[in-house]
Structure 1
Amino acid sequence: MLNQLKKITRALRVATQEERELAYLNGSVDRIDLEYRQRQIDRGLFRNGY
């Protein structure tokens, strides 16, 4: 029962900003794309500024 509860809470957990950025960078297909994505992150693509 406890293991099932842990699995459910992990599945419902929202990814942190750092995890989203890392997943975005890991999706790059080549060096040029990686550098482009790094610049996007540096410009604030994942920041929560309103």
Structure 2
Amino acid sequence: MPRGDRYKLVIELPEEVELDKINAKYRNGVLEIRIMKKMERKKKILIQ
């Protein structure tokens, strides 16, 4: 498939998610999406 083709994928989430909790990376042809939970977010803030 040529580069530049675009797909849209909709993922339903069980609750509302804030944009600053979403981390997305495109690595080796795979789109990785991570959504931090509240506790993980608190740990990240405390560590930084």
TM-score range, shorter chain: 0.3 to 0.5
So what's the TM-score if we normalise by structure 2?
Answer: 0.33
So what's the TM-score if we normalise by structure 1?
Answer: 0.32
Flag the structure with higher helix content: 1
Which structure has the larger Rg over C-alpha atoms? 1
Flag the structure with higher strand content: 2
Query: Which of 1 and 2 has higher RCO (CA within 8 Å, sep 6+)?
Result: 1
